[in-house]
A = this chain, B = another copy of it.
Amino acid sequence: MITRNLTLSLDAMGGDNAPGMVVDGIGLALARMPHVNFLLYGDEKQLIPLLDKVPAVRSICQVRHTEDVVSNDEKAGAALRSGRNSSMRLAINAVHEGEAAGIVSAGNTGALMAMAKFVLKTLPGIDRPAIAKNFPTMQGDCIILDLGANVQCDADNLVQFAVMGEAYARKVLGIEQPSIGILNIGSEDVKGHEQLQQAAAMLQEINLPIRFHGFVEGDDITKGTVDVVVTDGFTGNIALKTAEGTARMFSNFLKEAMMNSLLSRTGALLAKKSLSKFKGRIDPRRYNGAMFLGLNGICIKSHGGADAFGFANALDVAVDLITDDLNDVIKEDLSHLDEMHPESLIKP
């Protein structure tokens, strides 16, 4: 693959630890992305002194000054109306205007989605963008979508999510023929919502090289039963946060246990290297960077509480999607879908 030079625009003021972690995150990522330049949208009075301390970062960043910031508690609609000069909005505009190939923000999720949708619009054939994320499984990573952009989804939406997730798993995760599952519950008589049945029927008929596994249950996510888990944004959000919470509780209990006695503390010391490898494997920061798929431009949401390490990972996600031309792949897949007869699965 030929490495193209590319530019990312960053909402340098979004996130609890911004703008410090944005500058430090670039510093951490820069060795693995020497071909990337950055447009930093934010308060130059804060940004310039930070950049001046790290010349290697300074040299690949251009600061675009604005004092407006979208706050975390601002409603999406209000942010859309009044945040026209915010660091978030200007960073998105840079993608729309072709100055940047993608945008990363650790700011307000609802505002970011609303602004990105408004400015970038959705890809042809996509009714609604979805929030997607990599997730660790016992067989490697999978991708789950939607994680909260759409509370209610109809069968068409779910099929579109499946197409986008499949494209991601194939191009970015490098899985030759990714398998796809729809998240559902197992009990025979309560077979889940009607739209899940409809979406499953559509995916069985689809004229794309999609390997549709069928329905999967909550525990199939970490089993790695499928590469792509499709769900509505309500269910996906609950599943993701429940998993994160369970992992955190597990970590806390383990830590308590290992600190419990002199013997266990000694054991923990001996196993330190293995335990830290284990910690790394489930480190949520490694999975930072939620993708807004289905937009006419690459937009990545970093966790609001991310540190520099996590933010650097979100930058990786943006670079991956751009380098692998994910949106072109999705567009091509959707155009094939559109040719389907007797009726199109995708609304005009």
Contact = CB atoms under 8 A, between A and B. Distances in A.
A151 interface: yes
Give the number of times this chain occurs in the complex, counting copies: 2
A245 interface: yes
A261 interface: yes
A261 B191 CA distance: 46
Given A248-B219, A270-B267, A257 B233 contact: no
A268 B266 CA distance: 10
Interface stretch (A51-59, A159-167, A271-279): A271-279
A58 B151 CA distance: 54
Q: Which of A137, A220, A274 has the most CB of B within 10 A?
A: A274
Given A151-B185, A192-B234, A282 B263 contact: no
A222 B245 contact: yes
A187 B241 CA distance: 12
A324 interface: no
Given A185-B241, A263-B270, 18 more contacts: A110-B189, A110-B190, A138-B252, A218-B241, A219-B248, A221-B245, A222-B248, A243-B243, A246-B247, A250-B282, A253-B281, A254-B254, A257-B277, A258-B274, A261-B273, A267-B268, A267-B274, A268-B271
